[in-house]
Structures are given as C-alpha cells and as structure tokens.
Amino acid sequence: MVLIFNQNREFDIIAIGRACIDLNANEYNRPMEETMTFTKYVGGSPANIAIGSSKLGLKAGFIGKIPQDQHGRFIKQYMSEKGVDTSNMVFDTEGRKAGLAFTEILSPSECSILMYRDHVADLYLEPSEVNEDYIKNTKILLVSGTALALSPSREAVFKAISLAKKHAVKVVFELDYRPYTWHSQVETSIYYSLVAQLSNVVIGTRDEYDVMENLATPGNNDDTVKHLFAHDAELVVIKHGVDGSYAYEPNGATYHGQAYKTQVLKTFGAGDSYASAFLYAIVNGKDYETALKYGSASASIVVSKHSSSEAMPTVQDIEDLIKDRS
C-alpha cells in the first residue's frame, strides 16, 4: 500500500515549529566543561526535516517564529539557501531569542545536549500567524511534538492541523519528545495523544510512544497501533534503535526495516534525517518497506557526521548506502 496525496499542490511538505541554533562540540571524547570550540548550525527537529526534505528534492516550506537578530537572520538565510521556502517564517518583535543547543560528544554512545529554551521565539508563534492559503497548498503538514509544549505555539499548531484537515492535507506527527520542554509526562501525554489522534502518519521511537501513552514500563506496539487506527491514522512508524523500525497499516500489514551499521560519531540528528527520507520515499510512491530502508539509511549517514542539518544526505547517498549494505 502507499499513501495517496493530493498532487495539485505547490509544496510536498510544510513543517511547523522550532528552528534554532545548534552549537556542536568540535572536540570529541571530552566533557563539555573542557570543550572550548563549537561549530554553529541550524537546528530544531522540524527545521532539520524541512532542510533534509529539500536536499532530497522535495519542495519544502516552513512556518515558525525566529528572533529579529543575528541568529534569526542566520536561520532564515541558511534555510532559504538550502531550498526551503521561508515566506511564512515570522520575526519576533518582543526581543525573544533563538533556542540554543550545545552538544557534548564524549563517545559515540555518550552524547548529551545542553539546551537553553526559556522564552524562546519559536514557542511564541501565534495562531494568527498561521496562513490558511499556505497550508492548503501542500501535500503534508509536518508537526513536531516540541511545538505543543507551551501556548501560543500549541494553539498555532492545532490551528494548522485544523486547516490541513479542512483542505485534505496529510498530517504527519513526528513525536520529537524533549523532556526539558515539558512540565510533566502527564501533560505531554495529553497533548501528544490529541495530536496523534488527528494525524494521518505518526513517527517516533518506542520510548516516545511510551511517553505519549503515559506508561511507566515499556509499551506494546500492537496496543499502540490499535489505538491510533481507531482514529485518523493511516500509517504508524515505531523505531527500535539497533533493532530497526516497523511500519503498521490499519489492515494489519506490518513492515520491518533494518538499522544500518555505521561508524557512529554522535547520536543526535538520527530522527530528523529518518523522517525526511521516509517522507521523501512515500511522497514519491515508494512502498513502505523501501521507505523504512530510506529512513534508516539516512539516519545512519547523519549519525556518522558532525552536524544534523548540514549532514542531511542526497538521494544518491541513501541509495548507495542501501546498495552497499544489502
């Protein structure tokens, strides 16, 4: 089976939510206390997914709020240069700043992120700043979980979803759980569940689904998909790290994609690159098994590189890796 998209749309995907600054450690195998130099990149899950999608050849757009300062101008310029339409990125006029993420690379399996997210511009996107004409002109609206953490961003996302459903735009929910953004797991569970029930495609790790379901112990994929298929879901993707990822359809069909081994440098960025490549594949009519391969291959490439946004692969990169490892 494949998802059916409206073809008479200018955009393949429009993402909504956070665009921020990543400062990745240049010194590996060293704690952040001893790290002296960092390299600046554009970051934020929905921004990374838009950039990754554009690099793969999709027509991508972005809805979000950025600061009216040097960081904000850098974000907008970088995304525009990567082919992302930034016409619906708005500047914050209240002096709020971009989120900052400092990364620590102690080892391939020991990476941490020190986040600065207090009063960041992206969480102050207003519902009035979400444009109906923009959303009705895309095949996919990509929503990330972090944008649900606070108002007014939360209401802006729900408005965007409502407009997407009004105009038969597929809603894709990338869970993107960041605990430091939320007050409690219960709060996260409430809003994640509401959006997941409205979404056509849901993508996340097993751990993220456990948060959405407010579970204290690891959950069961069958229970998860049964619940989501009782609502609007047409496809559910659950990632299990080195054990690969699974895609589920309402008719009971299940597909498994392997995880591709690589020389891991850091662990962050994998989810964003996975989502962009998986969505590229399904927009282009590839079957779900192939889409899982594309997602896993893309994630494998990005975790071997220093950045997330700058490391997003091309279609050729992905297909070469799949061919080499098959």
DSSP string, 216-269: SS---HHHHHHHHHTTT-SEEEEE-GGG-EEEE-TTS-EEEEPPPP---S-STT
The rounded distance, in Å, linking the Cα atoms of 192 and 144 is: 10
pTM: 0.97
164 DSSP assignment: H
The rounded distance, in Å, linking the Cα atoms of 24 and 211 is: 27
Average pLDDT of every residue of the chain: 95
Beta strands at 38-43 and 60-67: parallel, antiparallel or unpaired? unpaired
**How many contiguous H segments (helices) and E segments (strands) does the chain have?**
10, 13
The rounded distance, in Å, linking the Cα atoms of 97 and 75 is: 12
Cα angle 28, 267, 116 (rounded to 5 degrees) comes to 80
Structure confidence by residue, pLDDT tens digits, 142-173: 999 999 999 999 999 999 999 999 999 999 99
What pLDDT does 72 receive?
Answer: 98
Mean pLDDT along residues 246-250: 98
Token pair listed for 189? 């569970």
DSSP string, 287-309: -HHHHHHHHHHHHHHHTTSS-SS
Structural domains of the chain, ranges and CATH numbers in brackets: 11-325 (3.40.1190.20)
Structure confidence by residue, pLDDT tens digits, 14-57: 999 999 999 999 998 899 999 999 999 999 999 999 999 999 99
